[in-house]
Amino acid sequence: MAYEFRFPDVGEGIHEGRVVEWLVAEGGTVGRDQPLLKVETDKAIVDLPSPHAGTVLRLHAAAGETIHVGDVLVTLGLAGEVAQAAPAPASTSAAESPAPAPGPGAPAPAVAPSTATPSRPPATPHTRALARRLGLDLARITGTGRDGRITNEDVASFAKAKAPEPEASAAPLAAAPVPAPSTTPPRPGDAGLEERVPLTHLRQVIAAAMRDSVQTAAHVTHVDEADVTDLLALRRRLNEKLAPTGSRLTLAPFFVKALVAALKLHPKLNASFDAAAHELVLKKYWNIGLAVDTPEGLIVPVIRDADRLSLEQLSARIDDLAGRARERRLSLDELRGGTCTLTNIGPVGGLFATPILHQPELAIVGTHAIKERPGFVGDEVRRRSYLYVSVSFDHRFIDGAEAARFLADLVTRLNDPDRLIASL
């Protein structure tokens, strides 16, 4: 009995992926839970395991091909089936000689009317919808996918293709005069001045997510400033104590602890919106998403139960997640379930930015570059270290005053690290 394994709905709004690598081959056997292939989604590169043991009868997608939820990926034989070979072409032999031609006056054999219908070009429903939107006939497009399957990239390439050049006349042409060297400066579009770089699957999905977020939420950003001079001094003292162990604290664990403390006072910023029920879902757990800059794009792993971790545990967890995010080795469970996101833009530079919400969350906090300048301590002017902190929030559900109070509570804890440590 054959079983069709389809690209499963893995949740978190993931509708499509890209086949990175097949881990099995047609004709081979697989065991239950054995990985079949690697698939890249907008969140990670994951292994898809086989739900059954059996024989691989057919692979339905090629490496590099885009797949959608519900697409058949593998046909498995569960009861000893083997891949069926294509029927051999008919041949004529002495034993199978053609029938003799009818004699003179014999009626010609009747020819039955053809009932065959034109074959339907192989393509996924998503690709067919794309072709319809662009007004293209799939029958005119050559598929580059497995077994001639037409992919989204094939449709896009066909749509962008230039009209064929007119055929040259057979008559000889007179030699054209050589033009004088042009004094016109090169312009955009001239050969050699532009380079076209195809978007990776991850970048396409990030682009769609950013567009959907901006079109859905009412984005507003509020900015405040923290004096982190004492926080930097505390971190130096703690790192001196940790030096013999080889551990070292960055500022990120302190930012996470301060964020959790402020979120506990302002639950709407640790919430999501259930559009179907028209309800806010206030989360009584604190899973902090951490935006990680990777060579392929921004990835947001989740620090689960951040409120229960010590500074050292947070530091180790952040290093582990960030390292595996850059290598695309995170599991889907490590990329979903966040309640609020933190993005630390400071190491890159700049004063402040306006981060975009990571749907379906209602708030994202940004920590920015630390700048040194003179500041008052009582009546004295001293050298101090200042940090801009921002919160972007969905103004449909969170008022500006509430966001400002939240950020003030966050800044208070960054200004006074002793109070922050005492609350851990």
User: What are the residue numbers of the active site?
Assistant: 395
Place of tokens 């091909």: 65
The backbone torsions φ and ψ at residue 242, rounded to the nearest 5 degrees and listed phi first, read -85, -10
Structure tokens at 66: 């885009």
The backbone torsions φ and ψ at residue 292, rounded to the nearest 5 degrees and listed phi first, read -120, 125
Task: Specify whether the CB–CB gap between 53 and 67 falls below 8 A.
Answer: no
The backbone torsions φ and ψ at residue 141, rounded to the nearest 5 degrees and listed phi first, read -105, 135
Q: How far is CA 145 from CA 64, 78, 148, 159, in A?
A: 9, 26, 5, 17
Structure tokens at 261: 């403390």
- 411 Cβ neighbours under 8 A, 6+ residues apart: 224, 225, 226, 389
DSSP collapsed to 3 states, the chain: CEEEEECCCCCCCCCEEEEEEECCCCCCEECCCCEEEEEECCCCEEEEECCCCEEEEEECCCCCCEEECCCEEEEEECCCCCCCCCCCCCCCCCCCCCCCCCCCCCCCCCCCCCCCCCCCCCECHHHHHHHHHHCCCHHHCCCCCHHHCECHHHHHHHHHCCCCCCCCCCCCCCCCCCCCCCCCCCCCCCCCCCCCCCCCHHHHHHHHHHHHHHHHCCEEEEEEEEECHHHHHHHHHHHHHHHHHCCCCCCHHHHHHHHHHHHHHCHHHHEEEECCCCEEEECCCCCEEECEEECCEEECCEECCHHHCCHHHHHHHHHHHHHHHHCCCCCHHHHCCCCEEEEECCCCCCCCCCCCCCCCECEEEEEEEEEEEEEEECCEEEEEEEEEEEEEEECCCCCHHHHHHHHHHHHHHHHCHHHHHHCC
